[in-house]
Structure 1
């Protein structure tokens, strides 16, 4: 059984130390929303967030922790106030251990999962359910290295290989929708979730409360949450509104 309650994950994407959103994952098409990601994190927590979804965008491209210091400050300040999942440039066991030892609840692995899936399968029980796989998808195929490299590996085929005992969940991102406010790829996300044994967190394109409600109704199909980014920053709705919508409709 892979079904859980539905969870909202407000996104904090960090580039050059600032809180930004990208359009279609393009590092050259950014909008800076906050000079200090720490203030943004505090705002989400004050609005009632139980989780934060933090990504080091520079790290994802360069393959190392680029914005480590600012993320560490966030973790130190928000300790015991919110759960955190972190991704971007986590490519080895040392990186994983660093974040888990510094207060992160889950680490997100994307490029590493694609390039070395056997690494994940060899993780011992200390890492079970602390690993999230980022399935960043274009036309059904996995993209990596901050979405710059396009593989010919089908997302479903890759994800099916992972042991459900190890993996906490899969973040399914439709790159063609990400940051666009075009609405979520509901049918594709449901189809993906039904095809794998892991809970799925939807990501990309959320534009309205309706998107959140529609996704929340798919818990029985394995969709356990959604990452929300630009819609919150562009004030299409508040995080408080999103929480209230779940209380009414689920």
Structure 2
């Protein structure tokens, strides 16, 4: 399955939007999302066992592994479960890496490579600021459009999905950090599972509505047109 391109430079959003969204909400995608929910429940139940709680290293590795698999799995749902393409596999792996390596900010904030220091912070580190996600996504979109790297059109969506999936899982303990407005109460566990299952469909629908990547081509033209005017 390939995500449909439903944006036309002359006509804008086509009447195919509804059919494109139906193409995303396939039975295969819904089944895959359901198994993702089972995976989340299994890993979280394992993390609550006495053996896991006694071993700080194993607990941290399990938590990070779970974040990574959720990131990869949700992006695979966005792609319709198409694993036959090398490009798709690279994207799925990248989604997992982004979702898991976000925790490196614990070590950066602690200024230490020791796990005990990284997990004993009094405040949440920078990458766990949820309001940072749209900022990075928008900046990356502008850079991609301005530089004409249209083959990377998917990155702002992939980044948003990867980091937000990490944030909502962590939010079951401490809520979402919405700087400068403060933090939300802890997210109920059932809501976390629901958001995790819905997130890839929301991202896929957003990509269809925005017509990625064709809209990036048009924005690239506009930016260069403006740049040419300023130079004159």
Larger RCO: 1 or 2 (CA < 8 Å, sep 6+): 2
Q: Which of the two has greater strand per residue?
A: 1
TM-score by length of 1: 0.27
TM-score by length of 2: 0.28
